[in-house]
Amino acid sequence: MLRFMSAGESHGECMVGILEGLPAGLNVDVGFINKELTRRQLGYGRGGRMKIEKDTVSILCGIKGKKTLGSPVAFSIKNKDFKINELPPISEPRPGHADLAGAIKYGFSDMRCVLERASARETVIRVAAGSICKILLREFGISIQSTRISVAGETNENMIKEKIDMARKQGDSLGGVFEVRAANVPVGLGSYVHYDRRLDARLGAALMSIPSIKAVEFGAGFQGASKPGSEVHDVILYSKAKGFYRQTNNAGGLEGGMSNGEIIVARCAMKPIATLGSPLPSVHIKTKKKVKASVQRSDISAVEAAGVIGESMMAIVIADAFLERFGSDDLKMIKKVYKLK
């Protein structure tokens, strides 16, 4: 089993990750990981934090001579903006954020104890872990990419920038939609046997775990629900060169909880970011009096960056399902098994 865990707070000393279950013998390119971390910081509408941090990964253990040892790989990314003990307490919860529910759950009167962990800063570790998984999948010709589809319902690049600029002036924020695609995924990853091994369920949970994601669909998704089966299901064809293949891909590469050999296609809807420059009404957690929600440094829109995070989450899940099917100890042995599929 490929397992991933992150630790760290937004303004803590560093973010830390552990990736367990990688096979021995995988060459880990730190330069590639750092390029992926840079991609996460890009996109029109990002906030001031992106100007402060220069995210680079430090491998702590699990790798010798650039190759994995089969033991857990631990890594860290430093926070230049390290001032968690100097920042003021927060008592005005933001609608749409974890502030209030988290404070009630854990008994905090200072909601900074919540937002420091609930911050999207945590996703920097997801991208580092996902980048390592991408390196593994690349050994077998599997690639994962994302595309920003829209921001606030707009698809034109110039209009998107105008909407973001307007939202910034108005103290507002914007959400949008991005798509993640995994190509050359072999048939049979996942399972129809148990609900928790279904690949679509695992991918759905991973993508929904990204902060601000409120909906995920695969293939035709919601549009397929309004059409008859004859217009939705993908006709099966066969040729000696391709083997089994489909005319269309309305299933989004997933059938019965398993990959079917077509491109896996997932689209994610990202709500507007909860922090607003012109804050909404809220209630003081101690006095219970009406107040304005707190204003924290934040992005106006981060749909493009969320797509990069989506790539990483998809890479982690597909790598786990791949190792489940083809073995997980020694990369050379996995390649031998894979050739026999």
| Mean pLDDT value of segment 188-209 | 97
Each residue's pLDDT tens digit, 105-116: 999 999 999 999
Whole-structure pTM value: 0.96
Each residue's pLDDT tens digit, 94-106: 999 999 999 999 9
CA distance 49 to 54: 10
Q: Look-up: residue for tokens 């994995």?
A: 68
Residues in CB range of 10: below 8 A, 6 or more apart:
79, 84, 115, 116, 117, 119, 121, 122
Q: pLDDT averaged over the chain?
A: 96
Segments making up each domain of the chain, as ranges: 3-339
Confidence of residue 51 (pLDDT cuts 50, 70, 90): low
3-339 architecture in CATH? 4-Layer Sandwich (3.60)
Residue 78 exposed, middle or buried by CB count within 10 Å (0-12, 13-18, 19+): middle
How many degrees, rounded to 5, is the angle at CA 136 between CA 135 and CA 139?
Answer: 90
Token output for 40: 């996460």
Each residue's pLDDT tens digit, 123-133: 999 999 999 99
pLDDT of residue 68 exceeding 90:
yes
Confidence of residue 81 (pLDDT cuts 50, 70, 90): confident
pLDDT of residue 49 exceeding 80:
no
Helix (H, G, I), strand (E, B) or coil at 129: helix
pLDDT of residue 50 exceeding 80:
no
